Amino acid sequence: MGGHFKIGCMAIGALALMACETFDPTDPFASTEDYYNSKSRKELLAMARKGDYEAIRRLKDTPLKNLEAGVEAGEYMAMMQLGWRYDTGYELKADPTEAARLYRVAAERGDISMAQNNLGCLYRDGRGVIKDYRTAVQLFQMAAAKGNEHAQNNLGWMYERGYGLRRDYVKARHYYERAARDRKDFSTGKSLPGQSMAQNNLGRLMRDGLGGKSQPQEAIRWFRKSAAQGNSHAHHNLGLIHEKGIGVKRNVQRALKHYEFAVQKGNPLSLHAMAWLYEKGQLVPRNYKLALQYYTLAAENGYTMSMYNLGILFREGRGVKRDLITAADWIQRAAIAGNGYAQTALGEMYELGEGVSQDFPKAAEWYERAAQQGLTVAQLQLSILHGTGQLGERDLVQSYKWVLLAAHLGNEKTEELRGLLDKEMTEAERVEAVRLARAYRPVPVFEEVRPLENAGTE
């Protein structure tokens, strides 16, 4: 049987962050230049139409009835603002369908770049509209061409993930760089900070050597610029840098300081990282109580790795009374959300009858979901189920296919099973299994993590 799988903060550092940003006029980290305080509402509206983010933000206190009157009068900026309120549920009940309608008019007739960007986010996430990555890309491209740094960041994200177009880390880095760099305010000539999430995303690519060579020092510089604007993901990444000693001398106290800042903002990545540190007790004193607390907070906010690790603690009875039913519940939630480690563990629980009724077909179903993502232990277990006839009639072709893939992807426990199958299979069966293995392409499920301080908007 395959063992349990735990994943710590090094792995989560490689996870992508939710980069699809919408305009948020309540962002507390936006610039507060005195210049804007002197502007009249009319002047702010004129600046906002040209894409001035701070001018748009300062219109946040517009009474709802005034926005509705503006929409009735055909004011496209009012449509964009009211659309944002329906998008995020700010001062009224969230209604992404109505948000999409308002954004669309403001984007198409008013040519407002922020409306184009926000509508692109709805298409990217499938909120209020049918999910359509290609349409999202087109909208981001339109807004990015106007210099909208949020759309530039979002377009970089689409290139990084390969959503709606071919994955291209070089182009992703290009758009992140455009959005991340400081810019001059077109009215005052003063320097304004670059887009904080783009700075963070650019730092990730530089740290990981994607779209160019690894540049840990440059990555740290961008993380710091983003963190200076209060971006919790950048603080998380700085925590990871100091915890692992990437480009700097390892310093756990500094790592904890950055993690704690992000935790205060509800960042699930740092909640998970803190939980992992306290669970392992290698760099800080082991504290299962805190580990459970942080895993639970992150899990309840939808982070599947924390759901999975929480389930494993209950399954193994570490720091908590062993409870297989609760373990199965958390692991199943993570598995349904697409977490491959949880899918493998759930398959094992169905195979063994732990916390669930023993059910080999269901075990195979969950193993296959994980196997399709490229998890070799799930591939090996699936091979065993097919090869031993636990799913009914033995299927040596499927068994051989999965053991070949597990071996190819580096699983060291495949040699014995492959040898046994070689002795039993006909040449035709072997040829077919090889053909199927060669046709296999892993399809990993990426977990997109929203920052909780601006949930649904950043």
Q: What is the CATH number of the domain that holds 155?
A: 1.25.40.10
Residue after which a domain boundary falls, among 214, 247, 265: 265
Any domain includes 206 = yes
Residue after which a domain boundary falls, among 249, 265, 281: 265
Domain check: are 123 and 261 in the same one?
Answer: yes
Any domain includes 99 = yes
Cα-Cα-Cα-Cα dihedral sign, residues 103, 108, 109, 114? positive
Report the distance separating Cα 353 and Cα 338, nearest Å: 22
Strand partners, 184: 191
What is the number of alpha carbons within 13 Å of residue 344 lying toward its C-beta? 24
What residue has token string 């895993």?
Answer: 295
Domain check: are 253 and 117 in the same one?
Answer: yes
Structure-token pair, residue 428: 């035709």
Percent of the chain with pLDDT over 90: 69
| Per-residue pLDDT band at 8 (split at 50, 70, 90) | very low
What residue has token string 């009374």?
Answer: 321
Confidence at residue 187, expressed as pLDDT on a 0 to 100 scale: 60
Domain check: are 252 and 399 in the same one?
Answer: no
- 322, pLDDT greater than 60: yes
Domain check: are 253 and 391 in the same one?
Answer: no
Range of the domain at 411: 375-442
- 388, pLDDT greater than 60: yes
Any domain includes 364 = no
Element (H, E) at 19: none
H-type alpha helices, 164-322: 169-180, 196-208, 216-228, 232-244, 252-264, 268-280, 288-300, 304-316
- Whole-number Cα distances in Å, 247 to 12, 135, 220, 421: 18, 39, 8, 47
Span 83-100, pLDDT tens digits? 988 998 888 899 999 999
Domain check: are 60 and 194 in the same one?
Answer: yes
Residue after which a domain boundary falls, among 265, 290, 317: 265
Q: How many CB atoms lie within 10 A of CB 189?
A: 7
Any domain includes 431 = yes
Any domain includes 175 = yes
How much is the mean pLDDT over the chain?
86
Number of domains in the chain: 2
Cα-Cα-Cα-Cα dihedral sign, residues 35, 37, 40, 41? positive
Any domain includes 448 = no
The pairs formed by 102-107 with CB atoms below 8 angstroms and a separation of 24 or more are 102/71, 103/79, 105/76, 105/79, 106/76, 106/77, 106/79, 106/80, 107/139, 107/142
| Per-residue pLDDT band at 21 (split at 50, 70, 90) | very low
What average pLDDT score do residues 291-302 get? 94
Any domain includes 71 = yes
Any domain includes 304 = no
Span 51-86, pLDDT tens digits? 565 666 666 667 888 888 989 999 898 899 899 889
| Per-residue pLDDT band at 239 (split at 50, 70, 90) | very high
What would the 3-class secondary structure string for 421-433 be? HHHHCCHHHHHHH
